[in-house]
Amino acid sequence: MTTRRELANAVRALAMDAVEAANSGHPGMPMGMADIAEVLWNDFLAFNPGNPKWFNRDRFVLSNGHGSMLQYALLHLTGFDLPMDQLKRFRQLHSHTAGHPEASETPGVETTTGPLGQGVANAVGFALAEKVLAAHFNRPGHEIVDHHTYVFLGDGCLMEGISHEAASLAGTWKLGKLVAVYDDNGISIDGEVHGWFTDDTAKRFEAYGWNVIPHVDGHDPEAVKKAIAAAVAQGDKPTLICARTIIGFGAPNKQGKEESHGAALGKSEIAATRDALDWRHDPFVIPQEIYAAWDHRTKGEVAEQAWNAKFDAYAAAHPELAAEFKRRVAGDLPADWAEKSQAFVDKLQAEGPEVASRKASQMTLDAFGPLLPELIGGSADLAGSNLTKWKGSLDAGTGNSSDGKGNYLYYGVREFGMSAIANGIALHGGFIPYDATFLVFSDYARNAVRMSALIPAHAIHVYTHDSIGLGEDGPTHQPVEHLASLRYIPNNQVWRPCDAVESAVSWKVAIERKGNPACLVFSRQNLKHQQRTAQQVADIQRGAYVLSDPQDTKFKAILIATGSEVELAMEAARTLAQQDIPVRVVSMPCTEVFDAQPLEYREGILPGWCRARVAVEAATSDFWRKYVGLDGEVIGMTTFGASAPASKLFDYFGFTVSHVVDAVKRTVG
């Protein structure tokens, strides 16, 4: 009979062979955690290799993603569509076995990990989504949402501050179906961690409100099984299993040392490891009996069929709920969404409210929230400033609100953790998450926003107080470079609307951007309503459009602006018209969307013949050079802001009609 150690050794062999073939990678963690992974995947984890997206599967997250060969070996051995050829091409161009796990590339990978600690936060998002979705849909005798989230993490994850943010919330939210396994091997890239990591991890997590199982021998399958069973059995706390392991287990000369952490073991050490593990097989060769013992395809299919039967019974008892559940899990918007959301946009255009765009955002949430029960969001302790709470907001932190429809999260001052948790909620399915803070604090969250775009995840990041218009709080709180920084993230859409109508459209487009993120950037100060035709309203979603053209004459220059500066551009255009200098005003709320438009449309907005262009935005200037060219000018920020009332700051930094007018005159010549 095949032993557990032999099954784990198959993982070890694949890890060291793949890293050796690539001459790149991290064999130590997969070899150290192989025994733990074998117990979890064979005895506890519910999944179906034939349908990696079966909804009620358990979620597995490898937060210490540098050990990616652990996950690839597990996926291959259990029967996912990840053939041996892909393992042989580990870390090679266009393979499905990238250096760190990528959800968009490899079947069975739930989230893209590698930036340490973010997988922990993603896992918290998965577990929260499971709990809240269960509160939304489960009914007595019909628990159709009932799965666990398991996350592996290492010393590096715990050293990163995001683990504090996420773990603290997990304890507060009582995420009893979250199980974390800490690979306590005492080694990081620089060597033995006791020189720089002396935290009492068990006490730390106990203080967060976690159930902690300490001192588990990570190489004793029975001890590991007992610990996981205890974690699954308890109900109202997340669990941390502290598993002591030996990094590079089985490598006689490199186990327990940093040499096995981030480099190939080398041919001689691999040969010695094969002897030490009694693994008498050539590289990438797995005996059939080992494959048979690992194969999860039949077991997974049976598990999914059993759940399908439960869902059929649920649908018979609660047909409307079942239909709604299927819609939300599929990520489809309600049938009446397009009509009703556009009706709200049109209503705003007709009424013309002059409000701060952050207030317009809240008005939009009031209108869209009742249409979208999947919308769930919150703020990093700034709800009263970000205006992220809407009339139907109910605390979802416990997942047990009285009517089962919690949809609001109090994240506390945890911008980074909040954003990475939102990624996990989005990836879980059944929700469209949004989070919020001041734009200047997007710096704290930026790597999670980057991961939103890279994974990708349908998370909506809301940022308010978008410029020096913040005013008296001064340069520490006034964003300058942040818009450009966010715009430079590939696959990210950054919207900075100029009034309530553009604000509503930005929300509409972000909600409809299935599977991909957006950043919505709103003002503190009131913004003037802009008059538009129906066609102009429709063109907002194209990222840029002509807001104003001179009548009966050809324009001599183009003014491009976003957000609060659109109003300034319009005033400057009126002044220039009185001086017989007709100009076009282009509102460009989303540069990324505009850049993706067909050339014909872009040329229609910014025709090449007109080289007299001025861009106006209360943010760093250099970003706009690509739109104005060498002959144009940018009125923007080249320094940090200052502490003063907003009106004084706009005057001081040159955001005035006269300054814009003079710039246009210079470009016209």
Nearest partner of 69 among 50, 84, 79, judged by Cα: 84
At 73 the pLDDT is: 99
**Where in the chain are the domains?**
4-301, 336-521, 541-668
Nearest Cα to Cα of residue 660 among 591, 565, 589, 592? 565
CATH for the stretch 541-668: 3.40.50.920
As annotated, the active-site residues are 415
Q: Nearest to residue 613, comparing CAs of 560, 544, 547?
A: 560
pLDDT reported for residue 1:
83
Q: What single-letter DSSP state applies at residue 564?
A: T
Query: Which CATH number is 4-301 given?
Result: 3.40.50.970
Q: Can 4-301 and 336-521 be said to share one CATH topology?
A: yes
What is the mean pLDDT for each group of 10 consecutive residues in the chain (669 residues)?
Answer: 96 98 98 99 98 98 98 98 98 98 98 98 97 95 98 98 98 96 97 96 98 98 98 94 98 97 97 98 98 98 98 98 98 98 98 98 98 98 97 79 73 98 98 98 98 98 97 96 98 98 98 97 98 98 98 95 98 98 98 98 98 98 96 97 96 97 96
The 10s digit of each residue's pLDDT in 30-50 is 999 999 999 999 999 999 999
pLDDT for the residue numbered 129: 97
Cα 520 to Cα 303: distance, rounded to the nearest angstrom: 41
DSSP label at 334?
P
Q: Strand 432-438 relative to strand 408-410: parallel, antiparallel, unpaired?
A: unpaired
pLDDT confidence of residue 398: 62
For residue 436, CA distances in Å to 238, 300, 394, 440 come to 25, 39, 17, 11
**pLDDT score of 560:** 98
How high is the pLDDT of residue 399? 46
Give dist(CA 555, CA 639) in Å, integer: 32
What tokens appear for 452 in the block?
Answer: 């939103």
Token digits for 284? 């990438």
Torsion of CA 4, 7, 11, 14, to 10 degrees: 150
Radius of gyration of the chain (CA): 28
C-beta of residue 153 within 8 angstroms of C-beta of residue 163: yes
Q: Residue 404: its pLDDT value, please?
A: 53
- Amino acid identity of residue 470, one-letter, is L
E strands, 432-528, in order: 432-438, 460-464, 493-495, 518-521
pLDDT at 661: 98
Q: What is the pTM of this model?
A: 0.98
Helix (H) or strand (E) holding 613: strand 613-620
Per-residue 3-state assignment (H helix, E strand, C coil) for 254-307: CCCCHHHCCCCCCHHHHHHHHHHHCCCCCCCCCCHHHHHHHCCHHHHHHHHHHH
CATH topology classification for 336-521? Rossmann fold (3.40.50)
Residues 227 and 212 sit within 8 Å (Cβ to Cβ) = no
- Per the DSSP assignment, residues forming a β-bridge with 548 are 585
What's the CA gap between 64 and 153, in Å, rounded? 5
Where does residue 179 rank: exposed (0-12), middle (13-18), buried (19+ CB within 10 A)? buried
